[in-house]
Amino acid sequence: MTWIIVVTAIIVFLIVSLAIFCWRNVKRSLKPRTLSYDQETAWNKGKGLWLDFDSYAKTEYEINGKDGYVLHAMFVDTPSTSGTGKYMILCHGHTSNRYGMVKYLNSYIMLGFSCIIYDARSHGANAPDICTLGNIESFDLKCVIDDTRARYPDIRVLGLHGESMGSSTSLSVVRFKPQIDFIVADCGFTSCYDVLRDGYGNLHMAFLAPIINLTGKIIYHVDMKDTCALKCLENNTYPVLFIHGAGDRLVKPYHSELLNAAASANGAYTELIMVEGAGHARCRYVSGFEKYTGYIEGFLKKIGVE
């Protein structure tokens, strides 16, 4: 009889431990601890990625996202970009904030684009909420696009640039057929679930992926399979530049390869650049300002954006 009690106790302990493990891991994704503005600023300055951002003119404002959720945004321009009619919306990655996109913004300023950077849902100065890593966030981005069009009526070119979660968001918004001209997707992923499965697969524990996803559905009512940029690219017509680190271990390079194939399936112009030696979200850092800006400039010339 004693051994039955011991075995039962062990089984209960294992089940409870698994439940806690799954909850903590899903919470890390859907209710993330995010970086502060100061932390993101210090990191970018420490890596030499801040460049001339402090000298640019900046205007802060708010945008109503999906269901009236308030998004904190910033308009950035210079005398050389004002009046060009060229605008960029930049979407940051998971746990980051709008200042995480400064390292890319500098390239667009040099290329004559005024820029909008904003905090994604549950990040930066925004109110706490559930983060879906690109699904609900794409609804918010559609609101940002519409707001930008209304706020700046001189727009003649409007592009999107996303990093990681921001790439997922920028590619997922395609399903709404927004009024944009091109997308630059850096280290994007096919679906949130694929990243989850790959991560635990690296640890030989891929069996945990569906359990963790189920935990997210039960506790937060979020199915990670719903965040699927690959599916949203069906019938894509927008030019897309994909950039990915060849050494990315978090979001493996095959994600951008599949996304590139899907984005070009209906004849849209796309490019895929693999950056040797770059890990996740490190392409700009590894490439350097001039080379990374060159990737964008070359792509824009090929699609007729001057």
Per CATH, which fold does 35-191+227-302 belong to? Rossmann fold (3.40.50)
State residue 206's pLDDT score.
83
Task: Single out the residue of 83, 67, 74 nearest to residue 102, CA to CA.
Answer: 74
Instruction: Give the model's pLDDT for residue 207.
Output: 84
**pLDDT tens-digit profile of 213-252?**
999 999 999 999 999 999 999 999 999 999 999 999 999 9
Say whether pLDDT at 7 is over 90: no
The sign of the CA dihedral 16, 17, 20, 23 is negative
Residue of 139, 172, 191 lying closest to 238 (CA atoms): 172
What is the predicted pLDDT for the residue at 27?
87
Pull the structure tokens for residue 280. 């996740």
Looking at the DSSP bridge assignments, the partners of residue 114 are: 87
75 DSSP β-pair partners: 59, 116
Domain boundaries, the chain: 1-30+196-221, 35-191+227-302
Residue 17 has pLDDT above 80, yes or no: no
Asked if the model's pLDDT at residue 19 lies above 90, the reply is no
Cα 75 to the center of its chain, rounded Å: 19
Closest-CA residue to 107 (of 159, 41, 51)? 51
Indicate whether 12 pLDDT > 70: no
For 79-133, how does the pLDDT look when each residue is reduced to its tens digit (9 = 90+)? 999 999 999 999 999 999 999 999 999 999 999 999 999 999 999 999 999 999 9
Q: Is the distance from CB of 155 to CB of 180 less than 8 angstroms?
A: no
pLDDT of the residue at 204: 77
Reduced 3-state DSSP string for the chain? CHHHHHHHHHHHHHHHHHHHHHHHHHHHHHCCCCCCHHHHHHHHHHCCCCCCHHHCEEEEEEEECHHHCEEEEEEEECCCCCCCCEEEEEECCCCCCHHHHHHHHHHHHHCCCEEEEECCCCCCCCCCCCCCCCHHHHHHHHHHHHHHHHHCCCCCEEEEEEECHHHHHHHHHHHHCCCCCEEEEECCCCEHHHHHHHHHHHCCCCCHHHHHHHHHHHHHCCCHHHCEHHHHCCCCCCCEEEEEECCCCCCCCHHHHHHHHHHHCCCCCEEEEEECCCCCCCHHHHHCHHHHHHHHHHHHHHCCCC
pLDDT at 10: 67
Taking residues 245-270, what's their average pLDDT? 97
Instruction: Determine whether 263 is exposed, middle or buried from the number of CB atoms within 10 Å of its CB (0-12, 13-18, 19+).
Output: buried
Per-residue pLDDT band at 1 (split at 50, 70, 90): low
Would the pLDDT of 180 be above 90?
A: yes
Q: Is the pLDDT of residue 9 over 90?
A: no
Sheet containing 70-77: give its strands across.
57-64, 70-77, 114-118, 86-91, 157-163, 182-186, 240-245, 270-275
Pseudo-torsion of CA 140, 143, 144, 148, nearest 10°? 180
Q: What pLDDT was estimated at residue 25?
A: 83
Residue 20 has a pLDDT of: 79
131 contacts 122 by C-beta, under 8 angstroms: yes
Which residue would you say has higher pLDDT here, 205 or 27?
27
- In the predicted model, is pLDDT for residue 24 greater than 90? no
pTM for the model stands at 0.94
Q: What average pLDDT score do residues 22-41 get?
A: 90
Angle at 134 between CA 98 and CA 287, to 5 degrees: 55
pLDDT digits (tens, 9 = 90+) for 141-175: 999 999 999 999 999 999 999 999 999 999 999 99
